[in-house]
Amino acid sequence: MIKVYVSSVIEAPADAVWAQIRDFNGLPKWTPFVAESRIEGGLAADKIGCIRNFRLKDGGVIREQLLTLSDYDFQCTYSILESPMGVENYVSTLKLTPVTDGNRTFAEWWAEFDCAPEREGELAQSIGEGVFQVGLDALKGLFRR
Amino acid sequence: MIRVTRSAVIDAPIERVWAVLRDFNSHTAWHPAVGESEIEGGDPPDQVGCVRRFTLRDGNLVREQLLALSDPEHVSTYCILDATLPMRRYVATVQLKRVTDGDRTFWHWQSTFDVPRGREQEFEQRVGVGVYEGGFEGLRAYLRRGLDRRATGSPAQAPGAAGDLPSRGIIVSNFGGPEVLQYRPLSAPAPGPGEVRIRQTAVGVNYIDVYVRAGHYRMLEPPAPLGMEAAGEVLDVGEGVTHLLPGDRVAYACPPPGAYVSVRTMAAAQVVVLPDHVDDETAAAVMLKGMTAEYLLHRTHRVRAGDTVLVHAAAGGVGLFLCQWATALGARVIGTVSTEDKARRARAHGCEAPIVTRDHRFAHAVREATGGRGADVIYDGLGRAAAEDNLEVLALCGHWVSYGQATGPLEAIAAERLTAKSATLSRPVLFHYTAQRPALAEIAGRVFAALRDGNLRVDLRHRYPLAAAAEAHRELEARRTTGPLVLLP
């Protein structure tokens, strides 16, 4: 089991950032790497257990299931059901916390997963920097003051 | 119930911020609203359960207790025990998180508490703005000025490892009389590998200190602190020290000199943990003299019931222990002393026949007391002046144990003079017997057991402030003292 953790500060109030990211079907709206997304079975995107099926711009298809959605804690947790990445038991959380000093947002995004030992470094890098940091950078860009 | 939450981003790595915040007493250094603060009972500031008592700049007094501390989670939780403010059930949590993007620190500070109805708004502001937001700014300024790096326990070091601590002590400025002893500010460095740092509470004075001070025993080069024996509490230990822990009550009697100080850093190997029944002053009074009596009576010569033992300076520090312990072993004890008053003290400690002599002539009196047979063993701390009479009163196959030379060094003794009585002459030194830890532990353990069982009683009459060490030396050299002397830092 390895853990990847990335955090950043976004120059916007947490409720505004949360409004942008709470839509489990909304990755194409704010990430630069997702081309299109739909929720399987026509479920609501905030129904716990729903599955988002999305296609990356590089062509890969990923299915992820919503495990936790908290409007109170500004937190979303999900697992990967299928992906081309070669990871097992992948659970990830995206969480926002208000920074009262400056009315900004502390954003954390982390994942825990299993993979072949020789791929740990490469996956930690590609997920931490290629996904989480790129996603948070995109949010910082959206909310640049 | 009010919940107050404030959070901020500090432009410093989490390790540096946490090194400050994990210290429950550090707020006095960085928080602008906090005045004086101390941890009650001198507990370490990262001990869960410790209580900080502090004043706020507005005059209020607060006592807070540390409820939880987690280094991996960077969390500190604490509550108010009592305060001159109408706040009830106040519990606060400080949590730090790493901002990986820029290696900064997210600081989350939250509390819940109750206040009288109608004053919620006021207290939300006082805590949220005055305490939490003020704290963020205070810590930022503290780090910006690099004050955390100057403070003890800087983040570069392991938790608990502080830098130098101030100490005070008596140094030998030059070899000479008591006047060369000077009281000076010193410092005790953090313990290195194999070392311990001790806050000393009582220091033993021994005749060997006089020899060292005078330059007869070249155990130090002036200016340097004097003393071989003390007791106190372990502050911290260096790498590889496993037999001591911070907070242990300990004592030692060993070279090199350096015991006449308030805080000492030294090799840990010769330091032993004290049992509860031995208090610090007793330990400082008994370690060197008691361990000396132990090896003299059990190792250099094994005293048995029925032996006749002659103890010189029988009312002195070691002398009184030898009298008591030899008596407890079933020996018959004869002693020499310089005054009638000392004769009474020696008798009260088991010396059956104290001989009063000011010129160290005692052969006639010992022969009388032993029906002409003499002593099986002589414990001689006198040296030169007693040598002739010692040879004269030694029984056949007797053992002359010369462990001190208060009247001057022994002159050469022709081996034939021992042949005349099949006598044995020993010149033992305590520190050879205690050099190995297992032996040290056994010797010290037997001294502590003798104290517990009443075979050794310490009649401590002479206490001096550490600063008055010169006066203690004058009294000791003028033979105006009986029994042990201790200095109190």
Choosing from B97, B120, B150, the residue where a domain stops is: B150
Choosing from B150, B176, B194, the residue where a domain stops is: B150
Chain A residues near any Cβ of chain B (below 8 Å): 5-9, 97-102, 104, 106, 108, 133, 136
For residue B476, being part of any structural domain is answered with yes
Residue type (1 letter), B30: W
| Band (B438; pLDDT cuts 50, 70, 90) | confident
Residue type (1 letter), B489: P
User: H/E element holding B325?
Assistant: helix B317-328
Cβ pair A61, A55 in contact under 8 A:
yes
Number of domains in chain B: 3
Cβ pair A99, B8 in contact under 8 A:
yes
Residue B34 belongs to domain with CATH number: 3.30.530.20
Check whether B151 has a pLDDT greater than 70: no
User: H/E element holding B476?
Assistant: helix B469-477
Q: For B336, which DSSP code? A: E
Asked whether residue B94 falls in the same domain as residue B27, the answer is yes
Interface check for B6 against chain A (CB to CB < 8 A): the answer is yes
**How many CB atoms within 10 Å of residue B432?**
10
Asked whether residue B9 falls in the same domain as residue B137, the answer is yes
CA triple B233-B234-B240, angle to 5 deg: 160
Asked whether residue B309 falls in the same domain as residue B350, the answer is yes
8 Å CB contact of B98 and A101: no
Instruction: Give the 3-state secondary structure of residue B47.
Output: coil
Among residues B200, B162, B145, B187, the alpha carbon closest in space to that of B25 is found at B162
8 Å CB contact of A101 and B136: yes
8 Å CB contact of A9 and B106: yes
Asked whether residue B265 falls in the same domain as residue B334, the answer is no
Backbone angles phi, psi at A75, to 5 degrees: -135, 140
Describe chain A by its helix, strand, coil percentages, rounded to 5.
30, 45, 30
For residue B338, being part of any structural domain is answered with yes
Domain range holding B104?
Answer: 2-150
Distance from CA of A103 to the nearest CA of B (A): 9
8 Å CB contact of A97 and B106: yes
Question: Which chain A residues are Cβ-neighbours of B13 within 8 angstroms?
Answer: none
pLDDT tens track for B158-207 = 334 468 899 999 999 999 999 999 999 999 999 999 999 999 999 999 98
Mean local confidence (pLDDT), B405-424:
91
- A vs B, Cβ pairs < 8 A, gives 54
Choose the mutation target among A4, A101, A125 for the interface with B, i.e. most B CBs under 10 Å. Answer: A101
Choosing from B150, B182, B203, the residue where a domain stops is: B150
Which whole-number Å values give the CA distances from B328 to B307, B347, B400, B419, in the listed order? 12, 14, 21, 32
8 Å CB contact of A101 and B7: yes
Question: Which chain B residues are Cβ-neighbours of A6 within 8 angstroms?
Answer: 100-101
For residue B39, being part of any structural domain is answered with yes
Among residues B476, B300, B286, the alpha carbon closest in space to that of B379 is found at B300
Question: Which chain A residues are Cβ-neighbours of B136 within 8 angstroms?
Answer: 101
8 Å CB contact of A101 and B106: no
pTM exceeds 0.80 for this model? no
Check whether A112 has a pLDDT greater than 60: yes
Domains within chain A, CATH numbers bracketed: 2-142 (3.30.530.20)
Residue B257 belongs to domain with CATH number: 3.90.180.10
Interface check for B125 against chain A (CB to CB < 8 A): the answer is no
CA end-to-end span of chain A, whole Å? Answer: 38
Nearest CA in chain B to A10: B101
* Positive/negative CA dihedral, A14, A17, A21, A23: positive
Q: Give the position of tokens 């002593």.
A: B375
B430: left (phi over 0), alpha (psi -120 to 50) or beta: alpha
Q: For B272, which DSSP code? A: E
Asked whether residue B246 falls in the same domain as residue B351, the answer is no
For residue B155, being part of any structural domain is answered with no
Distance from CA of B99 to the nearest CA of A (A): 5
For residue B108, being part of any structural domain is answered with yes
Asked whether residue B446 falls in the same domain as residue B376, the answer is no
Q: What are the tokens at B238? A: 């260096």
Question: Which chain B residues are Cβ-neighbours of A136 within 8 angstroms?
Answer: 101
| Band (B150; pLDDT cuts 50, 70, 90) | low
For residue B298, being part of any structural domain is answered with no
Question: Which chain A residues are Cβ-neighbours of B95 within 8 angstroms?
Answer: none
| Residue burial B421-430, b: 16+ Cβ < 10 Å; e: rest | bebebeebeb
Asked whether residue B283 falls in the same domain as residue B309, the answer is no
Cβ pair B30, B144 in contact under 8 A:
no
Choose the mutation target among A99, A108, A127, A134 for the interface with B, i.e. most B CBs under 10 Å. Answer: A99
Asked whether residue B14 falls in the same domain as residue B73, the answer is yes
Asked whether residue B142 falls in the same domain as residue B183, the answer is no
* Residue-level pLDDT at A145: 67
Whether the ω angle into residue B223 lies within 30 degrees of 0, i.e. cis, is: yes
* Residue-level pLDDT at B427: 95
Looking at chain B, the whole-number percentage of residues with pLDDT higher than 90 is 78
Question: Which chain B residues are Cβ-neighbours of A99 within 8 angstroms?
Answer: 7-9, 106
Cβ pair B224, B258 in contact under 8 A:
yes
Check whether B153 has a pLDDT greater than 70: no
Distance from CA of B120 to the nearest CA of A (A): 19
8 Å CB contact of A104 and B106: no
- For residues B17 and B64, give the distance between their C-alpha atoms in angstroms, rounded to a whole number: 21
**Spatial CB neighbours of B134, under 8 Å, sequence gap ≥ 6:** B31, B32, B33
pLDDT tens track for B324-361 = 999 999 999 999 999 999 999 999 999 999 999 989 99
Instruction: Give the 3-state secondary structure of residue B366.
Output: helix
* Residue-level pLDDT at A100: 95
Looking at chain B, the whole-number percentage of residues with pLDDT higher than 70 is 97
Choose the mutation target among B106, B131, B133 for the interface with A, i.e. most A CBs under 10 Å. Answer: B106
**Could you tell me which residues are beta bridge partners of residue A68?**
A77
Asked whether residue B367 falls in the same domain as residue B337, the answer is yes
| Residue burial B58-80, b: 16+ Cβ < 10 Å; e: rest | eeeebebbbeebeeeebbbbbeb
Q: What are the tokens at A114? A: 């299993």
8 Å CB contact of B100 and A5: yes
pLDDT tens track for B8-59 = 999 888 999 999 999 999 999 999 999 899 999 988 898 889 999 999 988 8
Q: For B261, which DSSP code? A: B
* Residue-level pLDDT at B162: 62
- For residues B315 and B347, give the distance between their C-alpha atoms in angstroms, rounded to a whole number: 9
Interface check for B108 against chain A (CB to CB < 8 A): the answer is yes
| Band (B480; pLDDT cuts 50, 70, 90) | confident
Asked whether residue B322 falls in the same domain as residue B244, the answer is no
Q: What are the tokens at B376? A: 């099986």
Average pLDDT, chain B: 92
pLDDT tens track for B224-271 = 999 999 999 999 998 888 788 888 899 999 999 999 999 999 999 999
For residue B203, being part of any structural domain is answered with yes
Nearest CA in chain B to A6: B100
For residue B222, being part of any structural domain is answered with yes
Q: What is the 3-state secondary structure (H, E, C) of B26-76?
A: CHHHHCCCEEEEEEHHHCCCCCCCCEEEEEECCCCEEEEEEEEEECCCCEE
Counting Cα atoms < 13 Å in the Cβ hemisphere of B166 gives 2
- Judged on CB neighbours under 10 Å (0-12, 13-18, 19+), B22 is buried
Counting Cα atoms < 13 Å in the Cβ hemisphere of B483 gives 20
* Residue-level pLDDT at A116: 92
8 Å CB contact of A9 and B9: yes
Asked whether residue B462 falls in the same domain as residue B422, the answer is no
- Judged on CB neighbours under 10 Å (0-12, 13-18, 19+), A35 is middle
Cβ pair A59, A43 in contact under 8 A:
no
Residue B382 belongs to domain with CATH number: 3.40.50.720
8 Å CB contact of B106 and A136: no
8 Å CB contact of A106 and B98: no
Of B8, B101, B104, Cβ closest to residue A101: B8
Cβ pair A123, A87 in contact under 8 A:
yes
